[in-house]
Structure 1
Amino acid sequence: MTTTVTSFVWFDSAAEQAAEYYTQQIPGSKITGITRNPDGSAFIVELELAGHSVTLLNGGPAHPHTDAFSLQVIVDGQAEVDRLWDALTADGGKPGPCGWLTDRWGLSWQVVPSELPALMGENPAAVGTAIRTMSKLDLEALRAAARS
């Protein structure tokens, strides 16, 4: 028997649109399956985000998203932080604190540079303090904090 773990996210009605957008923005991603309702609308959308399995369900408004659940995307370099941050906050998304944001559908994300764990290891207090002053993470400022 094989055990797998999949993130499962409830949407009101925009699971297919969200899946299409997410797979366009995150390299190495694809929609792997769609189960449709009798009227042709998507009920369940399965996708892989950079190899991570995610299932999106159109279940109606009973369970709105909260920041208690987020998807963390670890990227290389500031340019990729900027690109993905801008894409996910576009069209109604909202910046949050410490590298977190909420996309146009209300799903929370963390956009994190891959260098962050090493920087935290160098000077956890200073880097942690710097992060708490940021919305989108600024890699150069985090490097400076690690050197302080």
Structure 2
Amino acid sequence: MSDSTGFTTCLWFDGDAEAAADYYLSVFKDGKRGRTVRRNEAVPPGGEVLFVEFEINGQKFVGLNGGPEFPFTEAVSFMIDCADEAEADYYYDELSGNGGQESACGWVKDRFGVSWQVIPPGLHDLIADPDPGRATRATAAMMTMKKLDVAQMRRAADAEG
């Protein structure tokens, strides 16, 4: 899977990189797994997974078991642009369930602490509407939500003062 083109995102885990890769490959159906590299005598302790390569939605990742020093924060997140509401519901429910948690404005944190933004279709058009009043009303509605409801945001955008 390793090549010299593009970018690979390295995710730093505290011992559960392999479990995380397996989890992401179960959630994102078009994923594939690459190499799993185990620690050797030069990187104690031996036998544990050092890193695992995987790809989801065309994006290359390396899950590195680096230890507890650098936990994930919401300062970095992955946006999932969804084709329809069913896809948005699927990703939102899968990533926030099983030990994950909902946040605000369509953000979820999965059980490994990685943050995701689940973007339903039409969201960006609403909050970037050329009419500043519509954009403001849609954005204000979004700010009250955990799971995004674009139909409700559209109704808010259409409502006049």
TM beyond 0.5: yes
What is the CA–CA distance in structure 1 between the aligned matches of 2:10 and 2:137, rounded to whole Å?
35
Which structure has the larger Rg over C-alpha atoms?
Answer: 2
What is the CA–CA distance in structure 1 between the aligned matches of 2:105 and 2:5, rounded to whole Å?
33
Root mean square deviation, CA, Å: 1.7
Secondary structure (helix, strand or coil) at the match of 1:109 reads: strand
The residue aligned with 1:24 is: 26
What is the CA–CA distance in structure 1 between the aligned matches of 2:135 and 2:33, rounded to whole Å?
38
Partner AA of 2:11 in structure 1: V
The residue aligned with 2:43 is: none
What is the CA–CA distance in structure 1 between the aligned matches of 2:150 and 2:47, rounded to whole Å?
44
For residue 58 of structure 1, report the CA deviation from its aligned partner.
0.7
Q: Does structure 2 retain, via aligned residues, the 8 Å contact 1:76–1:115?
A: no
Question: Which of the numbers 113, 118, 121 marks the counterpart of 1:111?
Answer: 118
The residue aligned with 2:57 is: 50
Matches within 5 A, 1:82-93: 82-93=89-100
Deviations along 1:75-119, one digit per CA (max 9) or x if unpaired, are: 122221111111111221110011111111111111111321222
The residue aligned with 2:147 is: 136
Structure 2: where are the runs of 5+ without partners? 41-45
Could you tell which deviates more after superposition, 21-30 or 57-66?
A: 21-30
Secondary structure (helix, strand or coil) at the match of 2:128 reads: helix
Secondary structure (helix, strand or coil) at the match of 1:7 reads: strand
Q: Does structure 2 retain, via aligned residues, the 8 Å contact 1:6–1:53?
A: yes
Aligned pairs, number:
147
Question: Which of the numbers 5, 8, 20 marks the counterpart of 2:7?
Answer: 5
Percent identity, aligned pairs only, is: 38
For residue 3 of structure 1, report the CA deviation from its aligned partner.
4.8
Secondary structure (helix, strand or coil) at the match of 1:47 reads: strand
For residue 10 of structure 1, report the CA deviation from its aligned partner.
0.5
Q: Does structure 1 retain, via aligned residues, the 8 Å contact 2:85–2:121?
A: no
What is the CA–CA distance in structure 2 between the aligned matches of 1:113 and 1:79, rounded to whole Å?
9
> Which aligned segments of 4 or more residues in structure 1 are displaced greater than 4 angstroms?
none
The residue aligned with 1:121 is: 128
TM-score w.r.t. structure 1 length?
A: 0.89
TM-score w.r.t. structure 2 length?
A: 0.82
